Structure 1
Amino acid sequence: MPHRKHIHVIGLDEFHLAELQTVRNADEYVFHPLVDYDHIVLPPAYDIPALLAEAREDLDNAPAVDAIIGHWDFPTTSLLPILRREYGLPSASLESVLYCEHKYWTRLAAAEAIPECTPAFQGIDAYHDAPAEALELAYPFWLKPAVAFSSYLGFRIDDEAKFRSAMATIREQIHRFAEPFRHILAAANNHATLPGDGDGATCIAEGLIHGHLCTLEGYVFNGEVVVYAILDSVRGANQVSFLSYQYPSALPEGVQQRMREAADRLLRRIGLDQTPFNIEFFWDEEADRIWLLEINPRISKSHCPIFEIATGASHHEVPIDICLGRRPRFPHAEGRFPTAAKFMPRVYEDAVVTHVPSGRAIRELQERFPELRVTVQVQEGTRLSEMLGQDSYSYELASLFFGGRDAQDLQRKFRTVMDGLNFGFSRPVTTNYASPVGG
């Protein structure tokens, strides 16, 4: 057997190790965890100097460092270019990654490259003494921190009272991302030229955009932008909480092509290269208009099992190939179903979880649906409002992945699986999978 490549994965857990082992030539790789999962995924605080020190110690003591990859949001995405540069590996520049991390900077670049896809927007200092007086954007609009993920601290603002309330909440909690982002900026000082306006404590107010939401999965290799898949992102009635991600997209091919062209122009403007990416766009069908939502300089971890079910391998294959200096050859049609999805069962009111599915209940469902993967995110006794990393309007109970014949078949399977999982709560609650349920 040829020399096995040593692939170091930030925040590696058992779930994603199993996904990594589906890629082509997996037997030629040794996968190593880099930075403890609990230190990088939803910790109480992100200590950037400690995270970098931990990573460097692991890499310095490794038998070899052939690739460093990661699939989590900030700060993983910012740590990657720093570490790859230090260990001589192909990488996107830290400057281009920070343009993606900072949603206000993304909008500045988009306003130049794809103005037709860019809503009205404004940056606002979270610690401004009188933010309402500084506001120039008309109501209604969407407000969120420039650096965050999963709709954290994101609010729809309809009037001044809601704006003041949301800004007060953001001001109390934005330090969770603002402080680590400042540490990343310090690391970037000698390597990047960034906008002088805004930092980790910046918020962005932007005009409301709507329509069919989808994600372009792709990569940039030696300056060439390649989109290899488009998935639909289905949201609930609040237009915030994601209910499912479904592959392939049902959007018209002409719309998909326009999104590919817009992505190419934007990525070239910010200089992103040698990295996977995913970009979210809306298609407003009535106006036939495309709107940019955001860019992430990574694969979507939520799509990994979807690709394995539908194409035969996780798209972890893409960052591995790029970091090894190879052009990716993804996807390949060896899946078990023509369509696949991730479903996110959600609860819309606070309650205490009184029952979670047993291992036996999950195994029985997997006997019926062999491709089914279930990750439960709550325990008995969990108070939903105390969960970390949730959006402002709902609580995610689990992640479910499975395949089907078509979108209707996927919906039928979702209802069946949730009946079998049988979550219980201390009071009747509204969910996206059943009539109000409770204790």
Structure 2
Amino acid sequence: MKKRVCVIGVDEFNSKKLNAFEGAQEYDYHSILEVSELQHCETYDMAELMSKAMDQIDDMDETPDAIVGFWNFPVTCLTPMLAREYNLPHLPLDALIKCEHKYLGRLEQEKIIPDKVPAFDIVNPFHSSPYESVSIDFPFWLKPIQSFASQLSFKIENKKDFDEALTVIRDKIHRFADPFNYVLDKVELPESIKGIDGYYCIAEEALPGVQATVEGYVHNGNIDFIGAFDSKRHRHHETFFSYEYPANLDQKSIANIEKTSTKILKNFGYDNSSFNIEYFYDKDNDDFWILEINPRISQSHSDPFQKVDGAPNHKSMVEVALGESPEFPHRKGDFKVAAKFYYRVFDDGVITKVPGDDDLEAIRKEMPDMEIKIWVDEGVRLSELHDQDSYSYKLASVYLGAENKKKLYDKRDRCFDLLNFKIDSTE
């Protein structure tokens, strides 16, 4: 009999990945909640989402064997909360909060790996003098204690930047603060963060170096790493541009990062879940610092894993959620290198043309391996989009593979030229 796997917010891209690995035919996937209820929303009512999800699960003929999710908040919280309700393998909620609450996460990391944690301060954006709580020198980063994809995250170079960032944060922080506070109410919080809810921010030291991310899973306390990625920012902007696999780090550096990650995960009590952990790595000084722990697979890594290793990370996600020990392939794919690239613009305007099916088919004739997700529609004003970082607008995500980095970048440039988005900046 097929095992029943409830998937929270499945879309076309992830549906393909859920069926793109050996053994996927043994699973019967059930979609729970719509993507439109979980992404790009004005507000998120966590109580309503929990209730609706449980009603859908209860309407199934039989109880599920696993519940999985791969989106950022609120899905990172909904997934273990729902799995707990049905007594299924899940990430313990106290470990979840140590990942999702950025300030608590830093406090806990500081106990475990003090020399790998940037300086940080808690900031109440609604205090009459919020800057008084900041002891870090410029530049530093300011962001809510619950946010993702660099939303409401600002690099602060001076007091003017700080004041301007707080004006934006005060206006928009409720979008994630309210649903996150629902989650915090479900957990016995440590005294160190009592009263520090989703309406607070964290200021963090700006770190040197390049970014790298390790991904893996924990099953019954056993930690395994399945790959390391370069997380590259745009050359001229503070925004992510690509996730490239395998990482351009030597094995000693990767081993040191994995050793540090193992120490954190064990001390957090992290179990029965996938993860990806982001770091800054300073090649000049051969040193690194932790940025954050994401309690989920990275969708950005899924297609590169498939292209290089032969399976998307959805494989390990499903197997862990079923209480099984995953077996993930290594270098069994069709390409030596692969990446997810962001097609971004940095000025506001109205989208007047997006690539249509004929355009995409023409590109695929040149690059049969291309996967693409278009994030905008014609007629949309970029500044009105949700879930953008503070410095750019995301138009598309493009996934490509190649035999080497030069060929990969050549394919990227050709693909971007052919996409031919059109934006009217005068409207």
The CA deviation at 1:333 is 3.3
Pairing 1:210–2:204 present: no
- Equivalent residue for 1:79? 78
Equivalent residues of 2:122, 2:134 under 8 A apart: no
Pairing 1:405–2:403 present: yes
Q: How far apart in 1 are the matches of 2:267 and 2:184?
A: 20
Q: TM-score, normalised by structure 1?
A: 0.94
- Equivalent residue for 2:370? 372
Equivalent residues of 1:99, 1:106 under 8 A apart: yes
Pairing 1:391–2:386 present: no
- Equivalent residue for 2:187? 188
Residue identity opposite 1:68 in structure 2? I
Where structure 1 has 5 or more consecutive residues not aligned to the other structure, the ranges are 429-438
User: Structure 1: which 4+ aligned runs deviate by more than 6 Å?
Assistant: none
Q: How far apart in 2 are the matches of 1:26 and 1:105?
A: 37
CA-to-aligned-CA distance 1:65-119 (integer Å, 9 cap, x gap): 0110000011111112211111011111111011101111111111111111101
The CA deviation at 1:185 is 1.2
Residue identity opposite 2:193 in structure 1? G
Q: How far apart in 1 are the matches of 2:222 and 2:25?
A: 29
Equivalent residues of 2:104, 2:193 under 8 A apart: no
Equivalent residues of 1:153, 1:392 under 8 A apart: yes
CA-to-aligned-CA distance 1:198-238 (integer Å, 9 cap, x gap): 21111010111121211100111111221110011111135
What is the 5 A alignment of 1:170-319? 170-189=169-188, 193=190, 195-197=192-194, 198-238=196-236, 240-319=238-317
Q: How far apart in 2 are the matches of 1:14 and 1:178?
A: 29
The CA deviation at 1:152 is 0.4
Residue identity opposite 2:50 in structure 1? L
Pairing 1:340–2:338 present: yes
Residue identity opposite 2:254 in structure 1? Q
The CA deviation at 1:427 is 3.8
Residue identity opposite 2:165 in structure 1? A
Residue identity opposite 2:134 in structure 1? L
Where structure 2 has 5 or more consecutive residues not aligned to the other structure, the ranges are none
The CA deviation at 1:325 is 1.1
Q: How far apart in 1 are the matches of 2:168 and 2:152?
A: 8
The CA deviation at 1:279 is 0.1
Q: TM-score, normalised by structure 2?
A: 0.96
| Aligned-residue RMSD, C-alpha | 1.5
- Equivalent residue for 2:320? 322
Equivalent residues of 1:151, 1:240 under 8 A apart: no
The CA deviation at 1:133 is 2.3
The CA deviation at 1:139 is 2.0
The CA deviation at 1:193 is 4.7
- Equivalent residue for 2:146? 147
Q: How far apart in 2 are the matches of 1:49 and 1:66?
A: 23
Equivalent residues of 1:95, 1:193 under 8 A apart: no
Equivalent residues of 1:280, 1:293 under 8 A apart: yes
Q: How far apart in 2 are the matches of 1:111 and 1:344?
A: 33
CA-to-aligned-CA distance 1:303-331 (integer Å, 9 cap, x gap): 11111222222111112111111111113
CA-to-aligned-CA distance 1:98-155 (integer Å, 9 cap, x gap): 1101111111111111111101101112221210223222222111111010100111
- Equivalent residue for 2:66? 67
Q: Percent identity of the aligned residues?
A: 38
The CA deviation at 1:332 is 3.8
The CA deviation at 1:195 is 3.7
Q: How far apart in 1 are the matches of 2:356 and 2:410?
A: 22
Q: How far apart in 2 are the matches of 1:254 and 1:125?
A: 40
CA-to-aligned-CA distance 1:36-80 (integer Å, 9 cap, x gap): 111111211110011001110011111230110000011111112
- Structure 1 residues 229, 109: closer, same or farther in 2, change over 3 A? same
CA-to-aligned-CA distance 1:263-304 (integer Å, 9 cap, x gap): 011111211111110000111112221011110010001111
Q: How far apart in 1 are the matches of 2:335 and 2:107?
A: 40
Q: How many residues end up aligned between the 2 structures? A: 425
